[in-house]
Amino acid sequence: MERRAPPSLLDSHGDRHWLVDRLLQKKMKSGKVFFLVHWKGFPKSSRTWEPRQALLEDVPDHVHAFEKLH
């Protein structure tokens, strides 16, 4: 049985958002911090590197928890 990805959530501006399941890794690129994000309901192949600043706006608890542990 094929598992479908969950639908994205729309914010008040109609922009799409997906739910962060967990942050897996942290790296620096061009002087900026990025996190490897595992998206809730998506396979490993859908993981993406996202800028810390964007994640701080959307999921600050995930960022602070990751940084506290690492």
Which ranges of the chain does DSSP label H, i.e. alpha helix?
Answer: 52-58, 60-69
Q: Which residues pair with 47 in a beta bridge?
A: none
- pTM value surpassing 0.75: yes
Q: Does pLDDT of 8 surpass 90?
A: no
Q: pLDDT tens across 10-42, in order?
A: 667 777 778 899 999 999 999 999 999 999 988
Domains of the chain by range and CATH?
18-69 (2.40.50.40)
Whether residue 5 has pLDDT greater than 60: no
